[in-house]
Copies of this chain bind each other. A is one copy, B any other.
Amino acid sequence: MPAIGFEHHDHAHCVRSTLSKAEAHCADTGLRLTPVRRRALEILLAEHRALGAYDLLEVLASEGLGTQPPVAYRALDFLVKAGFAHKIEALNAYIACAHLGADHTPAFLICRGCNSVAETDTSPAQGRLGDAARAAGFVIERTVVEAEGLCPDCQKDAA
């Protein structure tokens, strides 16, 4: 599973295809992809960048889809629980899932230059973290793996 986010790609296609997968998943499982939720996912998908809840709210508000914080947080909760989006803990911000449908443990590469975020995959339970957890008798339920640094473009700019 490659990192998705920095390389150039057919973005329109990746947006459409993710939306289709989300719709199909909801149809299968009975989840309700309501107008606000669907639009929130579209907004996140529009960029490979993490958006704050209030950034999202601003866009929703400009479209008449709600003006108060709970609107954004409810939509984000839904998307995160459904696996359509992830929260980036280091930024207190949210990003659309780039590997929708794949069973994965997400990990993120966060560029401090341009704020773009690439999603990749990891298996922390199989590495040193998992070893430490087993040694301590700790049962892992969820992992947060995020790396901050510079993407290729921003390295060029810095040089």
Contacts and interface: CB of A to CB of B under 8 A. Distances in A.
A137 interface: yes
Interface in A88-129: 89-90, 92, 107, 109, 111-112, 118, 120-124, 127-129
A34 to B, nearest CB: 28
A136 interface: yes
A133 interface: yes
Contacts of A55: none
Given A138-B149, A147-B140, A122 B127 contact: yes
A3 B137 CA distance: 10
A145 B107 CA distance: 9
A135 interface: yes
How many copies are assembled? 2
18 contacts: A2-B136, A3-B132, A3-B133, A6-B137, A6-B138, A7-B136, A107-B128, A109-B133, A109-B140, A118-B132, A118-B136, A124-B145, A127-B128, A133-B147, A141-B148, A141-B149, A142-B147, A143-B146
B122 A149 contact: no
A155 B139 contact: yes
Contacts of A120: 128-129, 132, 136
